[in-house]
Amino acid sequence: MISVLEISNSQDIKQIMQDIKVDNYGIKIMLPKAITHLIRINSVSCITANILKQEMLSLGGDVAVARDALTGRIKRTDCLAMGNLSQFNRLNKKLKKQPFGLNEISRNLEQTLGNYQKDRFCLDLGKFKLRFRTGKTYIMGVVNLTPDSFSQDGLYGQNLNYIVDYAEQMVKDGADIIDLGGESSRPGAKPVSLKEELSRTIPVIKILAKKIKVPISIDTYKPQVARQALDNGANIVNDITGLKNPKMAKLIAKYRAGVIIMHMQGEPATMQNKPVYKNLITEIIGSLDKAINQAVSNGIEKEKIIIDPGLGFGKTKEHNLEILNNLHEFKVLGRPLLVGPSRKSFLSKILNLGPGMRIFGTVSACVLAAKNGAHIVRVHDVKEVKQALKVSEAINNI
């Protein structure tokens, strides 16, 4: 019998070779040959593109370029390089000392491939350490301390004991992180005052930090709120603006806290007014890469950073589905990936159901997100998502 295998995970390929009883030295040599990639390189000169094509052809791979790049009718072209990891490693060595920008392409390609192959991360949060690996997805439980949450689960107005019990139950149900927010970021939401946001969040954090044994995340873009949250036991800052305020980045660096950098097109009040992208995934990755570099330049340790493509934040239903289907592309950033599909309106446009009825849609999106590379899913319905992920992880890790 002959089987056709579709495997991209290096550990799975290695396991098959071990099952066949391939020599360990042979596995070391052949593993890079078994890991294939399609790599898009944007906007290079036609001279550079043609050299790339010839060099890759000489190694047994290939590079697709615009037809007119070969005739000289255009000055620049995108490239689609095709080959295995071994071929790309050899290509890098050949390009390092070449002109026409090829040495810079070599450096970027080496870093990108290194990030893409990385499958283990450790987020050091002081007394908490989150160890991310392929096949394991953490759950962030959402505690909305607002009266106008899109998800219809806002706890504004409930007494303090009720809110703390609610969060504790999430941990019992399987939440690995608790994320508290005192200001709604739903489309069209109006900002709340600093005083109001502090009064909603800080009393809860003060008590919760002493009662639960998982990290606490504060969902805010205000440095003043983040500071008080971190002073009272929070470990992570979840900033929907992607650290646009440099004061926030410096504050996080000072506290050596974890940070979630999210992509958002526009502002909450207007972000859903016909959002448009020329190349959705490329633009989001580029924006997040810039935000990561700015965070590091402000003193935040790269190992403290988590990225979030921002489902529903300046995206249409089609944009959200495209992101979920292509999460693996965000691996090039070399950081753990958080995805928040929970109860969002794009699910309603598929299911025609209200927020409280979107549990099964949320579960489906979370399982797919985990399969496609999400390290954390941010959800309201922890128990249901935990059960689904437990089954999917058992299947995937068999």
- In the block, residue with structure tokens 């900033």: 239
Mean pLDDT of 323-344: 95
Look at residue 174 in the predicted model and tell me its pLDDT: 97
Q: What angle do CA 258, 119, 217 make, to 5 degrees?
A: 20
Look at residue 255 in the predicted model and tell me its pLDDT: 96
**Is the pLDDT reported for residue 134 higher than 90?**
no
Look at residues 145, 118, 176 and name the one whose alpha carbon lies nearest to residue 390: 176
Look at residue 100 in the predicted model and tell me its pLDDT: 83
**Is the pLDDT reported for residue 342 higher than 60?**
yes
Its pTM stands at 0.90
Look at residue 157 in the predicted model and tell me its pLDDT: 57
Residues 6 or more apart whose CB falls under 8 angstroms from that of 10 comprise 31, 35, 117, 119
**Is the pLDDT reported for residue 266 higher than 80?**
no
Q: Which of 90, 200, 227, 344 is catalytic?
A: 344
Rounded distance between C-alpha atoms, residue 49 and residue 41, angstroms: 9
Mean pLDDT of 124-150: 86
E-state strands within 127-267: 128-133, 138-144, 177-181, 216-219, 236-239, 258-262
Domain spans in the chain, listed from the N-terminal domain onward: 1-34, 39-117, 121-396
Mean pLDDT of 110-122: 91
Tens digits of residue pLDDT in 145-166: 887 555 555 565 578 898 999 9
- Please state which CATH class domain 121-396 belongs to: alpha beta
Least confident of 58-67, 177-186, 218-227, 254-263: 177-186
Structure tokens at 4: 């056709």
Q: Which of 53, 343, 378, 386 is catalytic?
A: 378
Is residue 335 annotated as part of the catalytic site, yes or no? no
Mean pLDDT of 313-325: 94
Rounded distance between C-alpha atoms, residue 198 and residue 200, angstroms: 5
Structure tokens at 30: 């052949």
Mean pLDDT of 246-261: 96
Rounded distance between C-alpha atoms, residue 300 and residue 335, angstroms: 13
Q: Which amino acid is at 233?
A: G
Q: Which amino acid is at 107?
A: R
Is residue 120 annotated as part of the catalytic site, yes or no? no
